[in-house]
Homo-oligomer: A and B are copies of this chain.
Amino acid sequence: MINIEPERLKQQLTFLFEIDKLKTIIRRNNLIATPERLENSAEHSWHLAFYVLALAEHANEEINVFRTMKMVLLHDIVEIDAGDTFAYDIQAVDTHDREVLAAKRIFGLLPADQAVEFMSLWEEFEAGATPEAKFAVSVDRLHPLMHNYVTGGGSWKRHDVKRPQVDKRMLPIQDGSVTLAETVKAILDDSVEQGMLKTS
């Protein structure tokens, strides 16, 4: 590759080439459009940006939509090094340390000021404490649930996930949006009734 000038642009392009790898990280949930294919984390992040844009009015508190969108667009980039952790995997406890290292390496490819901004957005998402992070976490939980529901069970069936596990996983949604949490409850009730999700 040619030596790109200025140095800042070179660092930015290096980061942009690196994150292409997120398109190869495969999640456990399937697509809606072609349920035989599992989703990758880049297209998932794209979809979440629209969950934020379209659903922001349902947040419990008024949110900065731009910051929330940036959070969902970058929250999974750490998976390039750390891999995707299935929500219902018991071994998920050790992943946070690996993800911190990944965030430092990958965001560290950018010029320092941008690295700090991206790192801070990622940490805000992980901490889940601000109204923006709470809503970002809500849509991140909501999205695969919707894919499972609309495709007749999806990863719940494939991985024999039970209603109490899903209820627990969906608990943070109420902190971001009571409206969405109520919708989730109705959808899970219907999923059980339709035989897509077992209670035990």
Contact = CB atoms under 8 A, between A and B. Distances in A.
Contact of A19 (B45, B50, B65): B50
Contact of A54 (B12, B22, B39, B43): B12
Contacts of A55: 9, 12, 16
B20 A31 contact: yes
Contacts of A1: 149-150, 190
A65 B58 CA distance: 24
B17 A32 contact: yes
A173 to B, nearest CB: 13
Interface string A79-95: 00000000000000000
Contacts of A45: 46
Interface stretch (A66-74, A97-105, A156-164): A66-74
A131 B39 CA distance: 34
B43 A9 contact: no
Interface in A20-74: 20-24, 31-34, 39-40, 42-43, 45-47, 49-51, 53-55, 57-58, 65-66, 69-70, 73-74
- Main DSSP-derived SS at the A contact region: helix
How many subunits of this chain does the assembly comprise? 2
A73 B58 contact: no
A120 interface: no
B46 A190 contact: no
21 contacts: A1-B150, A9-B183, A12-B54, A12-B55, A16-B51, A16-B54, A16-B146, A19-B47, A23-B34, A23-B43, A23-B47, A24-B31, A24-B34, A42-B43, A42-B46, A43-B43, A43-B46, A46-B49, A50-B74, A65-B66, A66-B66
